[in-house]
Amino acid sequence: MEELLRQINNYTEEINVFTANDAESLEQFRIRFLGVKGLVKAIAGEMKQVPPEEKKSFGQTLNAFKSLAEEKYNNEKQRIDAISGESADMPDISLPGIPLPSGSRHPVTLMRNRIVDIFQRLSFTVAEGPEIEDDWHNFTALNLDENHPARDMQDTFYLSTDPAILLRTHTSNVQIREMERQKPPIRIICPGRVYRNETISARSHCFFHQVEGLYIDENVSFADLKQTLYFFVKEMFGNDVSIRFRPSYFPFTEPSAEMDISCLLCKGDGCAVCKRTGWLEILGCGMVHPNVLQNCGIDPEKYTGFAFGMGVERPALLKYGITDIRLFSENDVRFLEQFSGV
Ligand code: DAH
């Protein structure tokens, strides 16, 4: 029994000074003291040597010894696990971080922002209007009264309960709303989504985006319109691009024109994108019709102005080399993520 107590003392000393270098040495410790053939079991197996009257106190000593070994083992295990990152409640700071996917702007938004930026440098301010519009602001006030044949070119979606409410066919409604709201001078740029009742294909969709421009003041002339749009084209497409105006017709402008730029792909030689003409149609424009000014309570004898409207998708297709307009609205991440960092 003396011998057993001496052994316990020695082992206690050994346990007290023990620190595990790694999981392996900790496992050796466990086997040595707490294993099936370990020292705690071995000493317990010697209880028969202990005289009956000493058994109780020896049992207590042995239990304390066992607890000490277990406690040491648990403490060291926690420490080793923490170092090697295996513990459930300790993060392993050596692992690579979880990547946070960075989003990207939609290509239509990128193009719209570019357009707006350029006009903002000419002191145009952004104005927005509703996509769900009434007949007056979308058509009638723009000199397109009920039976005007030009309405046929802009069929849209109506509320079955109230056909005077529709999804706007162009951003020109914002012209009307702003002229009703503020007095000249007015210099606004109006980006937004518009709708048409059209068959969806690679080249057309039932919704798309436009940017409208409007400048109303005294003595605004067609020369101002041309100069503004020249500036825009140079900023947007570069100095090598040629521009031409073709006479056209819009009910809300007089005179009216369409503006083309030389094809960015074939540089004017003619290719599939420009339908072999060498030119790409970019926007419609003109001098605001006196009837439109009058409809908004602006005196056409005193004020004149120009307006223009352009699509956003078409220049985005050209700029990013996209061949199908439907890609813009399919929400396919594989398409959209290509614009991160653009
Ligand atoms: N609203 C026309 C369209 O959607 C585009 C347009 C043409 C707007 C001439 C204008 C303009 O402001 O002056 O086809």
d(CA 28, CA 80) in angstroms, rounded, equals 14
Under DSSP, the state recorded for 158 is: B
Give the number of C-alpha atoms closer than 13 A to the C-alpha of residue 77, restricted to the C-beta side.
Answer: 12
| Inter-residue contact 74 to 33 (CB < 8 Å) | no
Residue that the structure tokens 């509320």 belong to: 159
Taking the C-alpha atoms of residue 126 and residue 214, their distance in angstroms, rounded to an integer, is: 11
Looking at the CA of residue 175, tell me the nearest atom of ligand 1. Answer: 12
- Per-residue pLDDT, 89: 66
Q: Higher-confidence residue: 321 or 174?
A: 174
Entry pTM: 0.73
Task: Specify the residue for token string 């004017």.
Answer: 268
Confidence band of 215 (pLDDT split at 50, 70, 90) = very high
1 in Cβ contact with 51 (< 8 Å): yes
In testing the pocket of ligand 1, which one of 174, 215, 252 has its CB within 8 Å of the most ligand atoms?
252
Q: What is the pLDDT of residue 97?
A: 87
Please name the CATH architecture into which domain 107-339 falls: 2-Layer Sandwich (3.30)
> For residue 330, which amino acid is it?
E
Ligand 1 centroid to Cα of residue 143, in Å, is: 12
pLDDT (0 to 100) of residue 113: 96
Pocket of ligand 1, beta carbon within 6 A: 170, 172, 212, 250, 253, 284-286, 307-309
Q: What is the pLDDT of residue 178?
A: 98
- Which of 137, 188, 308 is the best mutation target for the ligand 1 pocket, counting ligand atoms within 8 Å of the beta carbon and taking the most? 308
What's the distance, Cα to Cα, between the start and end of the chain in Å? 83
Indicate the top mutation candidate among 139, 285, 296 to test ligand 1's pocket, ranked by most ligand atoms within 8 A of CB: 285
Distance from the Cα of residue 60 to its chain's centroid: 69
Q: Which helix (H) or strand (E) holds 176?
A: helix 172-181
Residues in the chain: 342
Residue ranges per domain, the chain? 2-89, 107-339
Nearest CA to ligand 1 atom 2: 309
pLDDT band for 87, please (50, 70, 90 cuts).
low
